[in-house]
């Protein structure tokens, strides 16, 4: 039985878009048990190779056509392949994920949505020239994105290496990244109910302070579910952390409330305990977005003091 031949554009360089799109296809085919008897063969070709384009089982990021029934997933045609409601254009990764993402995530639509928002759209936006970042120090300091990561895998001119071999390694890395993103998205789903319950419990006591019984990715859910929460308390190994709730996507610098200026002593437990009156206080980040105490009670006390501070 012949292989599933998937073609994409060739050349010395490759991009996160087609790398991640092909990785997603391979994961989907595995989930559907389509590779038990037939293998996937990825070939990088020229757009002018009409015979190879026509004979391929699937065309990704090549062919100037978006038509899922015929397995065409390109976005370079006139008019593109559409945009999401938030304005981010679809590139090939997004088109593949749109149709196969839920399959890759074992039918879990919420997990597929989380991966779409946290990974897929970033790749699509950068490939389409859609700006996601507006803060630049200068032209030499730029964000290192997922697209930057895959650009690093492209052989340099001096290396004179086989770009197809590098591409294959990039696809394997992309599969690992997507798989790990899915794992984290599943974990987020698992903790969603716990975080929601903690928010409801805080509303009965002090809605400014949310107390969790484990360390999990709480930021997005807390930002969306409550506008009054200022700090989140949770255990980390042998201590309890207190983190300021972000205003938006910039976790460190833009939070709803910082810890008091005089607390910014870093890892100086004695000084912090003296300043706060909390005997087991351990740490306050010099940027004032995080602090910790040895006990849960100590952490809650620090959070209450910070919430009450002018």
Residue burial 25-63, b: 16+ Cβ < 10 Å; e: rest: bbbbbeeeeeeeeeebebebbeeebeeebeebebbbbbb
pLDDT score at 162: 84
pLDDT at 141: 75
Q: Which pLDDT value is given to residue 136?
A: 61
Q: Are 296 and 197 in contact (CB under 8 A)?
A: no
Q: What is the pLDDT of residue 140?
A: 73
Alpha helix locations (H) across the chain? 16-31, 50-55, 92-104, 109-115, 121-127, 146-151, 163-204, 219-225, 269-276, 296-308
Residue ranges of the chain whose pLDDT lies below 50: 250-252
User: In this predicted structure, what is the pLDDT of residue 37?
Assistant: 84
Q: What is the pTM (predicted TM-score) of this model?
A: 0.80
Token pair 């391979």 is found at 26
Per-residue pLDDT, 189: 85
Determine contact, residues 125/75, Cβ cutoff 8 Å. no
What per-residue confidence (pLDDT) applies to 157? 84
pLDDT in tens, 26-48: 999 999 999 888 999 999 998 88
Which residues are CB-neighbours of 16 under 8 A, at least 6 positions away? 93, 123, 126, 127, 146, 147, 149, 150, 151, 174
């Amino acid at each position: 039985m012949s292989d599933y031949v998937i073609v994409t554009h060739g050349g010395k360089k490759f991009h996160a878009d087609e790398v991640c799109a092909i990785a997603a296809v391979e994961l989907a085919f595995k989930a559907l048990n389509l590779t038990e008897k037939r293998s996937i063969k990825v070939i990088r070709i020229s757009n002018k190779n009409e015979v190879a384009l026509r004979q391929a089982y699937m065309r990704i990021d090549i062919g100037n056509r978006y038509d899922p029934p015929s397995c065409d997933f390109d976005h370079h045609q006139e008019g593109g392949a559409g945009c999401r409601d938030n304005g981010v254009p679809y590139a090939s990764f997004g088109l593949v994920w749109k149709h196969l993402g839920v399959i890759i995530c074992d039918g879990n639509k919420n997990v597929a949505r989380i991966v779409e928002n946290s990974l897929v759209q970033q790749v699509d936006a950068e490939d389409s020239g859609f700006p996601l970042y507006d803060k630049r120090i200068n032209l030499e300091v730029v964000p290192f994105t997922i697209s930057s990561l895959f650009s690093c895998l492209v052989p340099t001119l001096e290396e004179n290496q086989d770009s197809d071999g590098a591409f294959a390694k990039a696809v394997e890395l992309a599969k690992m990244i997507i798989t790990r993103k899915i794992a984290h998205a599943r974990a987020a789903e698992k903790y969603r109910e716990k975080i929601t319950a903690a928010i409801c419990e805080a509303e009965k006591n002090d809605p400014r302070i949310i107390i969790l019984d484990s360390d999990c990715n709480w930021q997005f859910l807390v930002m969306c579910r409550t506008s009054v929460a200022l700090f989140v308390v949770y255990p980390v190994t042998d201590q309890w952390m207190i983190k300021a709730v972000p205003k938006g996507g910039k976790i460190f610098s833009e939070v709803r409330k910082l810890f008091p200026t005089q607390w910014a002593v870093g890892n100086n437990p004695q000084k912090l305990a003296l300043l706060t009156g909390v005997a087991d206080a351990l740490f306050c980040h010099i940027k004032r977005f995080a602090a910790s105490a040895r006990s849960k009670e100590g952490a809650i006390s620090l959070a209450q003091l910070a919430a009450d501070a002018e």
